[in-house]
Amino acid sequence: MRPARMTRGRVGEGVPGSQDCPSIGTVGLMREGLTLEEAQKLILEATPTLGAETISASDAAGRVLVDPIVSMRRHPPADCSAMDGYAVRCEDLLGTSAERPRKLPVVFEVPAGGHAARALEAGETARIFTGAPLPPGADAVVKQEDTDMGVERVEMRVEPALREHVRDGGEDFEIGDRLIEPGTILGASHLGVLASVGRTVVSVHQRPQVAILSGGDELVEPDRPADQGQIVSSNSYTLAAQCREIGALPIYLGIAEDRPEAIEKRLRAGLGADALVSSAGVSVGDHDHVREVLEKVGCQLRFWGVLMKPGYPLAFGIIEPTGQLVFGLPGNPVSTAVTFEQFVRPALRKMMGHRALHRPVIQAQLGDSIRKRAGRLHFVRVSLEKTSSGIVATPAGNQSSGVLTSMIRGQGLAVIPLEVESLEAGAEVDVQILDLAFFDREERGF
């Protein structure tokens, strides 16, 4: 018979100072039972922003710029026409109007992409198209609607203002102009601007690699038959998808058998990553081994336990000397997903160079009353409904952190502060939005 062992996960949902035990090494600076704010601060202080990599501009959407984009081109490349019409010298058309039209000879044409054959002399005009460079000597464009659109000779019916319908060379940008600042998250329009200045590769912050470790003899992969008592490992798949959602690169190390050698073999495959995320499945017993192996590879635990529910039994450490972050997440599916959101996601976003590390938060009215014990911040999954008096957040079904399917209910997490013991229906709450589709609209909205 195996001896009773310290556990994490279910039991770990207990109180600080209980018999809960961290899954990773306990030497050094370890603190216990932190508030969410304290835990997030410690994690983010230990999180580096990753260095640069140079990638194809067409792959750069969503990435954060490292070097400023400085224009290598001038746009427009020269003074050019903003209209289809006729290049003129204003002095030739003083006093011209529809009632007092004036005919000028059309001496050449400047097509788009072409250039003027020669300078425009006094009393001459040239056919010109949008974007085509203004001939030397010309100082305005008469748009074709203000003419008879003649081919050999054209009747002008307006007196143009100086530089009317002319775009200045370099109006948009000059060579050397700084167009996009470091720290910018590149969107579709930025990629258009990159193309326009001739930039096809671009320097952005690297994407973190995240090694995901799963462990426990009761776990099987989703494509394998489950023997009696076995369940499918799902946390790693949720975690990998949460990583991909923000552009991080998951490395799934697989399910480690509950033996130190097996755990060490898998874990060592993840030591080159920027972060290691261990999720316990719903098993117990593997944690002492994981901790033993982590200590062996140099992990120093920084804290254990966060005053929140779900998610108390969270451990955070750092592997020295590499600085790899280690997150020991609680094993219940909902606890795993929620603690990833609150702690791992902001750290990974910091690594990628983001400044806005946190999810959107909206204010809503509670659709139902809530009772809890003081001493922990609660995250309550809520479904959100837009009503005439605002957004109503209603707790979504079974809130048990062990119920797999409860993860997919509701679009956000209502935040019930640490010290609060009850909230009545109608009370205002902050709701962290997990599903950005919440903001999308079935109706146009304007």
Rule CB under 8 A: which of 116-145 touch a copy of itself?
Answer: 127, 129-133, 143-145
Could you tell me the two tokens for 222?
């989703």
Q: Strand 85-88 to strand 125-128: parallel, antiparallel, or no bridges (unpaired)?
A: antiparallel
Q: Which of 115, 153, 259, 386 binds a copy of itself (CB under 8 A)?
A: 115
Nearest CA-CA partner of 182 in 52, 351, 73, 358: 52
Q: Nearer to a copy of itself by C-beta: 24 or 240?
A: 240
DSSP label of 434: -
Is 216 exposed, middle or buried, given 0-12, 13-18 or 19+ CB atoms closer than 10 A? buried
- Check binding of 330 to a copy of itself (CB under 8 A): no
Sole binder of a copy of itself in the list 206, 209, 234, 339 (CB under 8 A): 234
Sign of the torsion angle spanned by Cα atoms 318, 319, 320, 323: negative
Q: Point out which span in 235-243, 364-372, 387-395, 420-428 binds a copy of itself (CB under 8 A).
A: 235-243
Locate 33 and state its tokens. 């039972």
Asked whether position 350 contacts a copy of itself by CB under 8 A, the answer is: no
Tokens describing residue 253: 């190390």
Q: Which is nearer to a copy of itself, 300 or 410 (CB)?
A: 410
Q: How far apart are the C-alpha atoms of 348 and 76, rounded to whole Å?
A: 40
What whole-number distance in Å separates Cα of residue 133 and Cα of residue 112? 8
CB of 319 to a copy of itself, least distance (A): 26
d(CA 308, CA 293): 27
303-322: contacts with a copy of itself (CB under 8 A): none
- The residue (of 56 and 321) whose beta carbon lies closer to a copy of itself is 56
Which DSSP helix (H) or strand (E) runs through 140? Answer: strand 140-143
Q: Which of residues 157-186 bind a copy of itself (CB under 8 A)?
A: 167, 171-173, 179-180, 185
Question: Could you tell me the two tokens for 265?
Answer: 């073999």
- In order of 170, 282, 286, the CA distances from 255 in angstroms are 59, 12, 11
The Cα angle at residue 73 between residues 68 and 77, in degrees rounded to 5: 145
Which of the ranges 87-95, 156-164, 291-299, 405-413 carries the binding residues for a copy of itself, by CB under 8 A? 405-413
Chosen residue from 16, 103, 108, 265 binding a copy of itself by CB under 8 A? 108
Which of 3, 95 has the CB closer to a copy of itself? 3
Instruction: Enumerate residues 61-90 that contact a copy of itself by CB under 8 A.
Output: 61, 73, 75-78, 80, 82-84
Contact flags string 186-225 toward a copy of itself, x per CB under 8 A: -xxxxxxxxxxxxxx---------------xxxx--xx--
Cβ closest to a copy of itself, residue 318 vs residue 429? 429
Give, as one character, the DSSP assignment of residue 375. Answer: T
Q: How far is the CB of 298 from a copy of itself (least distance, A)?
A: 28
**Count of positions on this chain that bind a copy of itself (CB under 8 A):** 127
Nearer to a copy of itself, 100 or 115 (CB): 115
Binder among 210, 277, 284, 325 for a copy of itself (CB under 8 A): 284
User: Which of 168, 193, 195, 191 lies closest to 179, judged by CA?
Assistant: 193
Q: Is 7 in the site for a copy of itself (CB under 8 A)?
A: yes
